[in-house]
């Protein structure tokens, strides 16, 4: 890149067959990834899945064991970190303790000989609302303020590719929302490419054009947020990105239109177009908010609707906007239903006998074999447990 000027626009990033092995541990397994120029790309995954390692490889702070890294059409695999048109917002902030906040932000500008670095640094600090603390040392700031300085220090350089490693994790909800909007503004305004790493699925879904869900050093699924949510391909994605009810059973009939699966004596139908596996034992699922709670068996089994039941309500948890019901269906296990609170309070109580139903087109099939599905559910559950985040916890049963 030319010294003394900002990047004109974002650069695309391509990872080809990247593998990173630490002594005795493979953190990244033959990763292929293409991020188009100017897009907001989120890498979502539980902690320890290799997100930071991926960013470090792109930034040039780590050398891949195998594979190539291409930024803006140029192979940078063997390029040193300081020569790459990339800046990083580090998860650990890594603010220089011996410099003022202002000098921290101006550091990259000075190295590249950009005109009036202090002015631009002040401008970047105003953006993160910290200009009044420009003279302080990083140690005199709170964690959230340090994180914003780290953000300003990277963004001020307007790099063709900005790497953000959980850049908003230390901020409270209000400030996080505000920073999300500002980041998005900067990104669209200049057309930079953002690679945003997070374990917060909501943040990924609201900000990114494309999300890649990562688990154990591999990308499980990649796509637009709605696509990933409505049509998860693996049990891990189905439960890490929101929650899902999953049912495992044998395929009993398969037509070009519909796939019928028998699970514990109950027949479930999903559209064939939404089912990658169409024979043998398969896992199918449906999102809890797609389910309808019935207090009496449906009069006549109509086509286009799946019905499970009867089951017994074993838990009701009221959360204002909606209520989460847990229903134990004999032979199937626990089924979760999210219901909008259209009336005052829950409509049924613990112990009530209920049925659940959903439209056939809302169901989806997984690519996972039953064993993979069970492993994926366990991974998502432990990820949710480790994050202490109730909203993403997977309350799912896979019954083989």
Partner 1 sequence: MAFSAFASTPAAAGPVVRRRSWIALVLLLPGILYLLLFFITPLISLVFTSFQQPVINGDIGQYSAGFQWSNYTDSVVQYLPLILRAFGYALLATLLALVISYPLAYFIGVKVRGFPLVQSLLLTLVIAPFFISFLLRTLAWKQIMSDEGPIVVGLKALSIFPSDGHITGTPFAVIFGLTYNFIPFMTLPLYATLERLDVRFIEAGNDLYASPFTTFRKITVPLSLPGIVSGTLLTFIPAAGDYINASGDFLGSAQTSMVGNAIESNFLVTQNYPVAAALSIVLMAVILIIVGFYVRRAGTEDLI
Ligand X SMILES: Nc1ncnc2c1ncn2[C@@H]1O[C@H](COP(=O)(O)OP(=O)(O)O)[C@@H](O)[C@H]1O
Give CA angle at 157 (16, 54), nearest 5°. Answer: 25
Task: Out of 7, 18, 27, 238, name the contact with ligand X by CB under 6 A.
Answer: 27
- Binds 53: which of Mg ion, ligand X, partner 1, none (CB < 5-8 Å by kind): ligand X
Residue 246, classed as helix, strand or coil, is: strand
One of 52, 244, 306, 326 touching ligand X (CB under 6 A): 52
Residue 152 sits at φ, ψ, to 5 deg, of -65, -40
Nearer to Mg ion, 49 or 241 (CB): 49
Cα(310)–Cα(353) distance, integer angstroms: 6
89 closest CA partner among 202, 171, 25, 6: 171
Q: Binding of ligand X at residue 196 (CB under 6 A)?
A: no
Give dist(CA 238, CA 374) in Å, integer: 12
Mark residues 9-48: x for contact with Mg ion by CB under 5 A, - for none.
----------------------------------------
Any contact of residue 167 with ligand X (CB under 6 A)? no
Of 211, 175, 209, 191, nearest in space to 51 by CA: 211
What is the Cα–Cα distance from 211 to 177, expressed in whole angstroms? Answer: 19
Residue 22 in the binding site for partner 1 (CB under 8 A): no
Asked if 386 interacts with ligand X (CB under 6 A), we say no
Among 10, 38, 50, 365, binds ligand X (CB under 6 A): 50
- Considering the complex, state which of residue 114 and residue 261 has its C-beta at the smaller distance from partner 1: 114
Task: Compute the distance between CA of residue 186 and CA of residue 144 in angstroms, rounded to an integer.
Answer: 20
Dig out the tokens for 279 from the structure. Answer: 């024979």
Q: Name which of partner 1, Mg ion, ligand X, none residue 232 binds, using a CB cut-off of 5 to 8 Å depending on partner kind.
A: none
Q: Which is nearer to ligand X, 49 or 151 (CB)?
A: 49
Q: Which is nearer to ligand X, 7 or 27 (CB)?
A: 27
* Using rule CB under 5 A, residue 52 touches Mg ion: yes
Stretch that binds ligand X, among 40-48, 78-86, 113-121, 249-257 (CB under 6 A): 40-48
User: Per DSSP, what are the bridge partners of residue 327?
Assistant: 313, 335
Closest Cα to residue 279, out of 264, 306, 265, 259? 259
H or E segment and range at residue 109? helix 101-111
Joined together, the tokens standing for residue 27 give 């953190």
Least separation in angstroms between CB 307 and Mg ion = 44
Q: Is 53 in the site for ligand X (CB under 6 A)?
A: yes
187 in contact with ligand X (CB under 6 A): no
* Smallest separation, CB 135 to partner 1 (Å): 14
* Interacting partner of 295 out of partner 1, Mg ion, ligand X, none (Cβ under 5 to 8 A depending on kind): none
Across the strands, what pairs with 313? 327
Q: What residues numbered 59-98 form the site for partner 1, per CB under 8 A?
A: 59-61, 80-82, 86-88, 90, 92, 94-98
| Cα-based distances in Å from 343 to 114, 148, 288, 320, 339 | 61, 43, 19, 11, 10
Q: Which residues bind ligand X (CB under 6 A)?
A: 22, 25, 27, 45, 47-53
């Amino acid at each position: 890149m030319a010294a003394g000027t900002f990047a004109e626009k974002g650069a695309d990033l391509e990872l080809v067959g990247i593998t990173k092995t630490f002594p005795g541990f493979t953190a990244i397994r033959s990763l292929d990834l293409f991020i188009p120029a100017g897009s907001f790309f989120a890498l979502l995954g539980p902690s320890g899945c290799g997100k930071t390692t991926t960013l470090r490889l792109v930034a040039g702070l780590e050398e891949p064991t195998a594979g190539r890294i291409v930024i803006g059409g140029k192979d940078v695999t063997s390029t040193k970190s300081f020569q790459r048109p990339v800046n990083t917002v580090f998860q650990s902030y890594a603010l220089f303790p011996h410099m003022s906040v202002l000098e921290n932000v101006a550091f990259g500008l000075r190295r590249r000989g950009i005109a009036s670095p202090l002015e631009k640094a002040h401008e970047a600090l105003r953006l993160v609302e910290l200009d009044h603390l420009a003279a302080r040392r990083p140690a005199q700031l709170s964690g959230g303020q340090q994180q914003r300085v780290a953000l300003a220090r990277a963004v001020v350089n307007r790099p063709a590719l900005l790497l953000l490693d959980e850049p908003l994790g230390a901020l409270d909800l209000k400030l996080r929302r505000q920073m999300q909007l500002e980041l998005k503004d900067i990104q669209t305004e200049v057309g930079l490419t953002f690679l945003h790493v997070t374990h917060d699925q909501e943040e990924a879904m609201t900000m990114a054009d494309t999300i890649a869900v990562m688990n154990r050093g591999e990308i499980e699924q990649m796509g637009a947020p709605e696509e990933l949510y409505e049509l998860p391909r693996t049990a891990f994605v189905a439960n890490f990105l929101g929650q899902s009810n999953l049912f495992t059973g044998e395929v009993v009939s398969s037509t070009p239109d519909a796939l019928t699966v028998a699970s514990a004596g109950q027949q479930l139908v999903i559209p064939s177009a939404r089912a990658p596996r169409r024979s043998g034992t398969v896992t199918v699922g449906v999102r809890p908010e797609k389910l309808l709670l019935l207090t009496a068996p449906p009069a006549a089994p109509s086509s286009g609707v799946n019905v499970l039941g009867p089951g017994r309500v074993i838990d009701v948890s009221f959360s204002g906007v909606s209520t989460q019901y847990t229903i134990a269906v004999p032979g199937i296990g626990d089924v979760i239903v999210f219901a909008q609170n259209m009336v005052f309070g829950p409509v049924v109580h613990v112990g009530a006998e209920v049925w659940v139903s959903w439209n056939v087109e809302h169901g989806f099939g997984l690519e996972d074999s039953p064993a993979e599905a069970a492993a994926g559910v366990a991974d998502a559950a432990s990820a949710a447990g480790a994050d202490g985040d109730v909203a993403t916890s997977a309350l799912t049963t896979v019954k083989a």
